[in-house]
């Protein structure tokens, strides 16, 4: 484990936080802990963590607000949101606020660590990727932004990886299982709904009419296909 890899844990439950800090330090990470949203935003700027684990329910502000505040100054740090809310709308809201991934409580430590490592791999792997275009949108994987009609929006790590995969297979149907294996890997144990949620999010940023997509098309019974 790289000694410089650190985690900012934002969790107000003392018992859960203590257990997570011990477990993550055992895995080789340096852990900074914040109990409030205000402290999380401050530590996010001063500690330069490799990954942020962000609880949704905090005493002073919610995780969505914290995520948005952090994204104002740091577009690149991977943010994994912890939430007790399992509704799809809550998860999509978390992704829309700038989170890269989410884990629903209760969760296993193994899954959490696997997702952290996956985020770190994606962060390192995308550093040298050149910009590319899809329709009238330009995507810069290094800056993690998409620009369409002069409007710049942020992309998360998984969004970038998903777009890169679809571009590499442009014109071909790509199954959900292929996407899951290539991007998340088997160790993270994601589901097909994970892929669908990210597709919904990408369409909102990429498509002129997200409900009538022209570029990321659904191939029923299979997965998705990119039409450039």
Closest Cα to residue 205, out of 143, 142, 175, 160? 160
**Alpha-carbon span 81 to 63, nearest angstrom:** 8
**Alpha-carbon span 192 to 134, nearest angstrom:** 24
**Per this entry, what is the length of the chain?**
228
Domain count, the chain: 2
**Alpha-carbon span 72 to 162, nearest angstrom:** 23
pLDDT tens across 90-132, in order? 777 777 788 888 888 888 888 888 888 888 876 665 444 688 9
Averaged in consecutive runs of 10 residues, what is the pLDDT profile of the chain (228 residues)?
A: 76 93 92 96 92 93 92 86 76 79 84 86 61 91 87 87 89 90 65 85 93 94 92
What's residue 220's pLDDT?
92
- Joined together, the tokens standing for residue 54 give 């962000």
Pair 199, 217 in one domain: yes
Query: Residue 211 contacts by C-beta under 8 Å, 6 or more apart in sequence?
Result: none
Q: 167 is in which domain, residue-wise?
A: 132-226
CATH code of 181's domain: 1.10.10.10
**Alpha-carbon span 23 to 137, nearest angstrom:** 42
CATH code of 20's domain: 3.40.50.2300
Pair 165, 62 in one domain: no
Pair 153, 81 in one domain: no
Q: Which residue has the tokens 């191939």?
A: 219
CA distances from 201 to 60, 150, 171 (A): 28, 19, 21
């Amino acid at each position: 484990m790289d000694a410089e890899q650190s985690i900012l844990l934002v969790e107000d439950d003392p018992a859960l936080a203590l257990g997570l800090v011990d477990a993550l330090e055992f895995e080789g990470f340096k852990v900074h802990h914040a109990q409030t949203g205000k402290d999380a935003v401050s530590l996010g700027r001063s500690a330069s963590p490799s990954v942020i684990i962000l609880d949704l329910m905090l005493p002073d502000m919610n995780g969505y607000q914290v995520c948005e505040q952090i994204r104002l100054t740091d577009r690149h740090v991977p943010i994994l949101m912890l939430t007790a809310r399992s509704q799809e709308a809550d998860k999509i809201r978390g992704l829309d606020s700038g989170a890269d991934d989410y884990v629903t409580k209760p969760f296993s430590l193994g899954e959490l660590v696997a997702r952290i490592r996956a985020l770190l791999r994606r962060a390192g792997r995308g550093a040298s990727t050149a910009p590319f275009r899809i329709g009238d949108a330009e995507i810069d994987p290094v800056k993690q932004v998409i620009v369409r009609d002069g409007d710049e929006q942020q992309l998360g790590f998984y969004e970038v990886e998903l777009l890169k995969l679809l571009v590499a297979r442009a014109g071909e149907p790509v199954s959900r299982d292929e996407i899951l294996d290539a991007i998340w890997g088997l160790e993270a144990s994601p589901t097909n709904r994970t892929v669908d949620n990210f597709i919904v999010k990408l369409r909102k940023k990429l498509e002129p009419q997200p409900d009538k997509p022209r570029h990321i098309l659904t191939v029923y019974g299979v997965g998705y296909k990119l039409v450039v």
